[in-house]
Chain A
Amino acid sequence: MFNKIQKFIFSDILKNRIVLAYTLLLAILSWSVFSIEDDGNKGVLTLLNIILLTTPLVSIIFTAIYLYNSSEFIELLLSQPIKRGKIWTGLFLGLFSSLAVAFIIGAGVPIMFFVQGSIGLILIGSGVMITGIFVSLGFLCTILTRDKARGIGISILLWLFFSLLFDGLVLFLLFQFADYPIEKVMVGVSALNPIDLARIFIILQLDVSAMLGYTGAIFKDFFGTGFGAIIGFVLMCLWAVIPFMVSRRMFIHKDL
């Protein structure tokens, strides 16, 4: 039955002005990146930076705002004969699918147009994954606090953490443990940040990966194989599923 909610939310969000602006922004950025960079690989790298910055931010904040604005509507849904879990799942699927579609239209189409081969598909796939992960984190932020301002604050902090602070921490660790062979540990550490995971995964597909040196080689040994790619994929999925499942559990037991 949640599919019904998803369907309506999906069409509602697709008409949302912020989402339209987001789609347009992605489209303009990607088309211009690809027309300026004559080298396809370079274009992919530039676009990767843009995607890894904007997509998480838009996904998490839009989700938080949308959920807070829908609190009365969610109450109305709760008064209907439908399970709470289904409402929450329907909202998640609605938000995720609409933002993913926005991403695919905005960035995916130009990528398909300009990037040949599997790299393009991997880039689009990672973008969709990142969208799912940060929508999921947005759900977690919203359920943590009833206060809209605080909830949006938490989601901005989370975004800042994953796109900036985490890497700062990694840099700090690298220098703290410079005398130890920590390359293999870093494979594990990077799995703790979905943005890093996506970034490294895509760089490994490009020939700039030669520049990653010994650490890159270890990553390639791991993520370059079919098994590693599956692990990477599963990790990303877990990042999308776990925060949502936690929030769903909290939603089911929450007083509204």
Chain B
Amino acid sequence: MIEIRNVSKRFGKLEVLKDVNLTCSPGQCIALIGPNGCGKTTLIKCILGMVLPTSGSIYFKGKNVSRDYKYRCDIGYMPQVGRYPDNMSIGKVFEMIKDIRSAGEKLDEELVTSYQLKAMKHKKMRTLSGGTVQKVSASLSFLFSPEVLILDEPTAGLDPLAAEILKEKIIKEKENGKLIFITSHLLSELDELVTHVILMQEGEIRFHMPVSELKETTQTNSLAKAITHILKLDHVQ
């Protein structure tokens, strides 16, 4: 579904992505992990079209995404930190995004309902707590039942209950055959969610493999342990 071919990105002298190649298919839930500054966010932004690759290209359903914007109809994005215009109410934010998407009746309001956002529809974004803002972001990203979901640190800032609701939703959508990207530092949390892991280091993809395969090669039973194992190996070498 998403194919990344030879993508490189430079910010001035700094090379953030080095010749990245990647293919992702529907039904995969991919954890994108790696140390700070490894290029995770840049890669996501490349897929979303916020950052334009220096070279290489990205294909979405076989079509090159550069100079296109309509493909984003099929992507739901939840940013790490959501900020909205101060004086807009929750209702208005939803209305606006719906307006932009020209969405019809078919909306997935499951999260909106679970988070009880409708009850505080008139509250202004300025007055909301960080957690509530994240709930809004999460609800928005799932609202249009997109085929691809990109979630940047989705559970950071959410209270345990809300985080649990979100995780359940992610699992459900995975089972619905959606392609989901998650970046997170909480590896333990990802265990039950993801099917594949991408480890990035210094702008390169170290590996991209199913979780089961990873656990097998490293002889561990959890994602966290597997990753630590690999990083330790690196250190020894």
User: Which residues from chain A sit less than 8 Å from chain B, CB to CB?
Assistant: 1, 4-5, 8-9, 11-13, 15-16, 69-73, 75-84, 253, 255-256
> Which B residues contact A (CB, under 8 angstroms)?
9, 11, 45, 48-52, 69-73, 75, 77, 79, 81-88, 92, 95-97, 99-102, 137, 140, 150
- Kindly list chain A residues whose C-beta atoms are within 8 Å of the C-beta of B79: 72, 75-76, 79
Does A255 lie within 8 Å of B83, measured CB to CB?
A: no
State which of A5, A13, A255 has its C-beta within 8 Å of the C-beta of B45: A255
| CB proximity of B36 to chain A, nearest CB, Å | 18
- Provided the pairs A79-B48, A255-B45 are in contact, do residues A5 and B96 lie with their beta carbons within 8 angstroms? yes
Q: How far is the CA of A70 from the CA of B82 in the complex (A)?
A: 10
Shortest 8 CB-CB contacts between residues of A and residues of B: A79-B77, A15-B87, A72-B83, A81-B72, A12-B85, A255-B51, A81-B73, A4-B99
Out of A76, A84, A255, name the residue touching B77 (CB < 8 Å).
A76
A83 surroundings in chain B (CB, below 8 A): 69
Task: Give the number of residue pairs across the A-B interface with Cβ within 8 Å.
Answer: 83
Q: Could you tell me if B101 and A73 are in contact, using CB atoms closer than 8 angstroms?
A: no
In contact, B100 and A77 (Cβ under 8 angstroms): yes
Please state if A12 and B50 are interface contacts (CB–CB under 8 Å). Answer: no
In the assembled complex, the Cα of A80 lies from the Cα of B82 at a distance in Å of: 14
A255 touches B101 (CB 8 A): no
- In the complex, 6 of the A-B residue pairs with CB atoms within 8 angstroms, ordered by the A residue number, are A16-B87, A76-B84, A76-B137, A80-B100, A81-B100, A255-B50
Known: A8-B85, A82-B69. A75 touches B97 (CB 8 A): no
B70, closest chain A residue (CB): A81
B112 to chain A, nearest CB (A): 17
Chain B interface main SS type:
mixed
Instruction: Give chain B residues whose Cβ lies under 8 Å from the Cβ of A76.
Output: 77, 79, 82, 84, 137, 140
Q: Which residues of B contact A8 (CB under 8 A)?
A: 85, 88, 92, 95-96, 99
Closest residue of chain B to A85 (Cβ to Cβ) is: B69
**B97:A16 contact, CB within 8 angstroms:** no
Question: Which residues from A are CB-within-8-Å of B97?
Answer: 80
The 8 Å CB contact of A80, one of B72, B86, B87, is B72
- Min CB distance A164 to B, Å, is 32
Verify B100–A9 contact, CB threshold 8 A.
Answer: no
Known contacts A82-B100, A255-B51, A256-B51: does B85 contact A70 (CB below 8 Å)? yes
Please tell me if the beta carbons of A255 and B11 are within 8 angstroms of each other in the complex.
Answer: yes
